[in-house]
Each structure stands twice: as C-alpha cells, then as structure tokens.
Structure 1
Amino acid sequence: MTKIGIIKEGKIPIDRRVPLTPQQAKYVKDNFDVEVVVQTSDIRCFSDDDYRNADLPIVDSVEDCDIILGVKEVPIDKLIPNKTHFFFSHTIKKQDYNRDLLRSILNKKIRLIDWETLTNENGNRIIAFGRWAGIVGAYNGIWTYGKRYNLFTLRRAHECFDYEDLKTEFKKIKLPNIKIALTGGGRVAKGAMEVLLGAGISQVTPHDFLTQRFDEPVFTQLNSRDYNKRRAGGDFLRNEFYKSPEQYEGDFLKYTRVTDLLIACAFWDPAAPVLFHREDIIKDDFDIKVIADITCDIEGSIPSTKKPSTIDDPIYDYNPTDDEIEQALTDEGNITVMAVDNLPCELPRDASESFGNELVNNVIPHLLGGDEKGVIQRATITNAGHLTEKYSYLQDYVDGK
C-alpha cells in the first residue's frame, strides 16, 4: 500500500501552512486506499491533535513513506533519498539561491514534483496559493500606504484568525483620492481585486486611469497588453507575447506618472520586458511611492525589489539615487516596498483549506490513479538522479554555468 507523509515544514522563516488539512487528509486515506501519516509539528496552523482527531497517525519521521507532501522548500538535510517529494522548489527560473537544493535532489535520486508545474492539458495550473497571495498582498499594500502616511491603523493579516476576521478591518481604511495600479489577470490579481473592491475602492479602466482625475481612491487592473508593445509595431498578440516575449518592449512608464500605489501580481518571464528601471525612478515624473510586489521576483521586473521581506518585518525603503535598501519609512524620497515572499502564510488556515481542495480534486486522482492525462509526468522535474526531458534546460544551472 502506498504511504503518504505530510512533512513538518523546515524552512526558516517558518511556514504554518499545510498541503492537506486534517479532514482532507482523512478523505484521501479513506477514498484512495493509501496510508497517510503526519510528521509531528509545533508550528502548523492545524495541531497534531487536529490530525489525531481525524484518525491520522502522528509520527516522528516520514522516511518510510513513498510520497512526501510539503509546502515550501525542504532543507537539504531533510530531503529523503529515493522518494517522491512534492513542494515549491523555486528552481524552474534558475533561482541562484536554490541551485544547491536542486543538485542535492539529483544526487539523492529524488523524484521532484513542483506544485508550480502541475498543469492541465492546456498548460493552466491546477493547484496554487495564488488567490491568497493576492488577498494578503493587496491588504499589506494598503496597510503599508496607511502606515507611510499615518492615515489609519490596521491589524496585520496574520493577527486575524481568518479571512472573515480580516474583512472586518476594511471599514477602517480611509484613503485619499490616490490611484492604485494592479498588474496581472490571474488568480493572484483576482485575489488582490477582492480586497480592493471589498475595501470600497472603485475600479476604473486603464484609459480613464491615465486621463482622468477622481475625487476618491481608484484602481485599475492592467493586463500584459496594457503595458507591453511590439517592437516591430502593430497589435499586441497575447499568444505571441507569451511564446516570444523578447519581441516586445515595455510601455509601463505612462502609468508610473499617475500611480501612487503599485500592486504587482503579474507572472514575469525573465525574457519579457521589465516594468521600469532604476533610472526611471529618479526622474521627476515618477510618482509611485509604495510598491506591494506580490510576485517578489528579486531584481526582476521591479528594480526596487532587491530582497524579500518577511511577515515579521514586511517593509523596507528603496533609495533609488544610491540603488540601496534602507530602513522603512525613513525618507520621503524613497519608495516603500512590501515584498513578503510567503504571503499566504499570513492566512494559513484559509490558504491551506483552498490548496488542499485543489490537491484532492485535481492532483491526487492522477497521482494515485495511473496518470493517464500526464499531469504528474508533465510536472516531474527530476527522476532517478536526472532532469526530465522537459526540464533539461536546467542542466547548465545545475552545472553552475
């Protein structure tokens, strides 16, 4: 019988989320003819007793499990050789800081399946925390703006019991007639829009955002076509942009001249244009004062995102003149950056419940049922000490080139 283990999260800073809630784990055990055990943990948003009460064994080690489920990167010394590991590895963009992690996974002959790479036949992701990243990220963006200008005081998201509790804070939000630009159109952006609309902030079109003045706070949602244009001229072609982003150049600066708060939710391909450069920030017509970078691509599409921030220390200032990070809220000429890289962890119960539902419905049946549609195969990055064909492009990254 296949044995599945839910691992204790080992990454620092700690992450309180789980891939399966107690009731979801019990459902998997009862309906898929597998054994499910839970490694003891004192940090989860659901306690060991919650899992015990769902008839699930609490164990010290998951080394005898066939499939190991986690959320964040597993510390190298906690990787179990010759097993199937599921977690967010943050390696598929060749992230330097996880090169040694991928090398160890290969050396230990681990079958790595990354949550981020699980897709349907159309290439759309089937499991993600994106909505919750958007919800917490937008809330944190508003919290940051209020803090920078001493406008109001909100509880932090992680101080709220759950999303319903967090929504009771919306009535405290009193913004002046600022303009908020939100990039992206996927789960993250939709989650962010939930908060903006819930806080009573009106949505306007990109055209009106650029050309009109308002006597209330407003936001606009920008898709790729709104801030990228073909180098050769002509119409923006969405499929072409995603397949060949190098054929496009950025056209975001027109928004930086009228935006007060930027909430960045759009996935960024390193081959695609950046939103703006440091040189743009120091020009007189650059108006953005606060950036909530939910994407948190370090030195990616937004030059002020030079490091991730943490739940305990969520903001820092970016000094564009010297291209340096400074203490938060120290100089009006700086940009205040919120770049927490584990935002869903601020609402861990809601985020885990949502993620687990997608895992049970969209992944487990393929994992334990033959994978006829290739869902697991497409998502497998490493197997038996080698990169799979789809991810062979990572070989030079592994080799340190």
Structure 2
Amino acid sequence: MRHETRPNERRVPLSPDDARRLISRGIELTVEESPQRIFPLDAYAAVGCGTAPQGSWAVRCPADGYVLGLKELPSEPLLLRHRHIYFGHAYKGQAGARGLLRRFTAGGGLLLDLESLVDGEGRRVAAFGYWAGYAGAALAVLHRRGVLDAPLTSDSRSGWERRLRASRPGRSESAVVIGAYGRCGQGACDALLTAGIEPSRWNSAETKALDRDALLSHDILVNTVGTDRPVPPFLTKDDLDAPHRRLSVVSDVTCDVGTDRNTLPVYDHVTAWHRPAERLREEPRPLDLIAIDNLPSLVPDEASRAFSADLWPHLLALQEGSPVWDRCSEAFRRAVAAHG
C-alpha cells in the first residue's frame, strides 16, 4: 500500500484491522511510510505488515505484486510495470488520461481502476460515495452560511455535525439533492438534515422531465449523479443568468468536469482545499461553486473504515481471481483500445 502524494489525502484503501484479516489469510502486505495517513504506520506494523519508505513501491514491489492506493500516481516512473489498484480517473477522456494509459501499456502494467470494481449489475462493490455526498453537502451549507473556513481541514463526523448544528440560521433554507437515493445522495441528505434542512430529493424521474425553474428556486444544489454516457445537462450557463434564479451554491460531488458525461457543464475546473468555493455569477445574485474531487478525505477515519470493509474481501479474491476483477481488467482493455 503506497503513500498518497496529494498533501491533503489522508484516506487509506485498507485499514489496519482489515490488513490483519488479509495477513491472517496468507496475504503478504507491505505499507509505505506516510506522514499524513489517518492511521499511523505503527498500527499496520502491529498487525504484521512489512514497512517501506514512502515512494519505494516502484523498486521494492515484486513484478507480480499489486500496488494499492487511492489517488493519482506520481509522474515517475514513466513506465508502469505493476498491477495498480486505485482510482485512475482515466476512462472518460479526462485530462491526462491518454498519457496515463500509455504509461501502463509501455511498461506492461495493468490498471485495476476502483471505479470499475463493480458487480454483475454495474454497482460498485467498494465506494466512498456516502462520505463524498456528506462532505459535499456540509461544505455547501457552511459556505452559504458564511462560516466555511479556508483552507479546509479534515475532521470526524461528530466534528462536522457540531459545525452544521452550530451554524443554523434563524431563516429557512432550501436544498435539492440530485441522485438522492444512491449512497452518495443519502450522505448528502443526512448532512442537510443535520443542518436543519429538509432536502428535495430528486432522482431519475425528476431529471428525465427536468423542471429547471424548480431547480433554480432552491438555495443549494448538491449533484451526486455520475453517468457512463452523455445525458442532457441539469444546468447550463444560460440557466445561471435567469432573473428568477434563487440558487446561490452548487456543490458538484461528481466532478466529471472536462468530459462529455458532465451533467453540470457550467464550470471548467475543480476547486481546491485552499479555495473550496469559486464565484460563477454575480447577477442576478451571487452564485458559488464547490467542486472538490477528494471530498471523503474531509472525513478520513470513517470514510476509510467503511471503504476498507467493502474492499478487503475482494483483495483476498485476487489470489484466485473473480468476476469482479475480471470486469475491472476488461474495463482497462477497453479504455486502452479507445483512448490509449
């Protein structure tokens, strides 16, 4: 398990408790040092993991081993020869996707993208969705109430709950969650309820016959919908200029910016921890965007434990193979054929 190079990435794909479960079943696991990881290296060593300096996977991991991570790989080594398990974000035509896929093909490696780790019905078997939705909605509420500090810092769920409750204003607020009945949407709704807002819950029925005037009549929009094919947008730039727009904060949890699957094509880059919200419009009233692509890292302990609990049984199945990993491998081959 490698160190994450992104400075604010504190999550892990595998907790010490679940690492112990793998080791007890014959898996050899080495964990790199990391100064930011939510769980200390000593906790992994205590359950039998080997340890290694951060960034050493390229030379220390056996050629037939797996490199487990979450977010982007460093730019070196140029040739990727291992089997990497992480969120590659390379199958929808994202910026840099073609170059990443070529690094794998040139090195003879394999990307087992966690986005493609799905069951027979296409549902992810391990996901951070709930916590992405929770954090995305929490940020939207706190920003609208004028109490969101920057740069952002991670916290526990109880810490975010205290902030949401303490910020409740004397006036009523409205919010809509698109994709409200998925895991991500459920997390967003839970955060809004904690903040004292009963959200409008939209799903496929509401987006199929989209009422943009109703959408624009809310104070907050939280989008949790990801799609594997282009669909009509939920909002356009023209909608933002509507004189009757009440909407003042958009939190796009999905962050499919730069692809043809983006359901909110009203911005062209994600926002960041040091500047979580950016202004989209001044008139007819201010409208701000939050689009952070590692939201669950704002709740790193709970998010990591939940994800790890989903993932570790599938890591165990790597020894013998499984339909889940077969589908993951096939997704890589299709992406290479299409974009590589």
1:293-372 correspondence runs (5 A): 293-298=252-257, 300-319=262-281, 333-361=285-313, 363-371=314-322
Mapped partners of 1:158, 1:23: distance in 2: 28
Cα deviation, residue 104, structure 1: 0.7
Q: 1:50 to 1:332 in 2, by over 3 A?
A: farther
Indicate conservation of the 8 Å contact 1:259/1:288, yes or no: yes
Q: 1:336 to 1:81 in 2, by over 3 A?
A: closer
Cα deviation, residue 39, structure 1: 1.3
* Match for residue 8 of structure 1 among 3, 20, 25: 3
Mapped partners of 1:50, 1:145: distance in 2: 39
* Match for residue 39 of structure 2 among 24, 46, 51: 46
Count of aligned residue pairs for this structure pair: 329
Secondary structure, counterpart of 2:144 in structure 1: helix
Correspondence 1:271 to 2:222 = no
* Match for residue 61 of structure 2 among 61, 64, 73: 64
* Match for residue 239 of structure 2 among 256, 262, 280: 280
1:1-400 correspondence runs (5 A): 6-10=1-5, 12-31=6-25, 33-60=26-53, 61-62=56-57, 63-65=60-62, 66-78=65-77, 81-147=80-146, 153=147, 159=153, 161-175=155-169, 176-184=171-179, 185-202=181-198, 219-229=199-209, 251-298=210-257, 300-319=262-281, 333-361=285-313, 363-371=314-322, 374-380=323-329, 388=333, 391-392=334-335, 394-398=336-340
Cα deviation, residue 100, structure 1: 0.9
- The amino acid across from 1:351 in the alignment is A
Cα deviation, residue 132, structure 1: 0.8
Identity of counterpart residues, as a percentage? Answer: 26
Please, what TM-score do these two structures have when normalized by structure 2? 0.89
Give the structure with higher Rg (CA).
1
Indicate conservation of the 8 Å contact 1:311/1:346, yes or no: no
Indicate conservation of the 8 Å contact 1:304/1:337, yes or no: no
Indicate conservation of the 8 Å contact 1:18/1:70, yes or no: yes
Indicate conservation of the 8 Å contact 1:140/1:156, yes or no: no
Q: 1:312 to 1:41 in 2, by over 3 A?
A: same
Deviates more, 1:40-49 or 1:118-127: 40-49
Indicate conservation of the 8 Å contact 2:223/2:252, yes or no: yes
Q: 1:257 to 1:351 in 2, by over 3 A?
A: closer
Q: 1:281 to 1:159 in 2, by over 3 A?
A: closer
Mapped partners of 1:18, 1:307: distance in 2: 25
Cα deviation, residue 304, structure 1: 3.0
- The amino acid across from 1:64 in the alignment is C
Mapped partners of 2:150, 2:135: distance in 1: 9
Mapped partners of 1:335, 1:285: distance in 2: 13
Mapped partners of 1:376, 1:337: distance in 2: 36
Mapped partners of 1:268, 1:122: distance in 2: 14
- The amino acid across from 2:177 in the alignment is L
Q: 1:228 to 1:98 in 2, by over 3 A?
A: same
Cα deviation, residue 183, structure 1: 0.3
- The amino acid across from 1:29 in the alignment is I
Secondary structure, counterpart of 2:327 in structure 1: helix
Mapped partners of 1:179, 1:81: distance in 2: 48
- The amino acid across from 1:57 in the alignment is G
Cα deviation, residue 107, structure 1: 1.0
Cα offsets for 1:298-348 (capped at 9, x unmatched):
1522233321111222111013xxxxxxxxxx7774411111111011111
Q: C-alpha root-mean-square deviation of aligned residues, in Å?
A: 2.3
- The amino acid across from 2:306 in the alignment is S
Cα offsets for 1:42-61 (capped at 9, x unmatched):
22112222222333221122
Secondary structure, counterpart of 1:169 in structure 2: helix
Q: 1:143 to 1:157 in 2, by over 3 A?
A: farther
Cα deviation, residue 220, structure 1: 0.5
Mapped partners of 2:79, 2:22: distance in 1: 22
Tell me the equivalent position of 1:214: none
Mapped partners of 2:337, 2:69: distance in 1: 25
Cα deviation, residue 198, structure 1: 2.2
Cα deviation, residue 397, structure 1: 2.4
Deviates more, 1:122-131 or 1:40-49: 40-49
- Structure 1, gaps ≥5 residues long: 1-5, 148-152, 203-218, 230-250, 320-329
- The amino acid across from 1:117 in the alignment is S
Secondary structure, counterpart of 2:136 in structure 1: helix
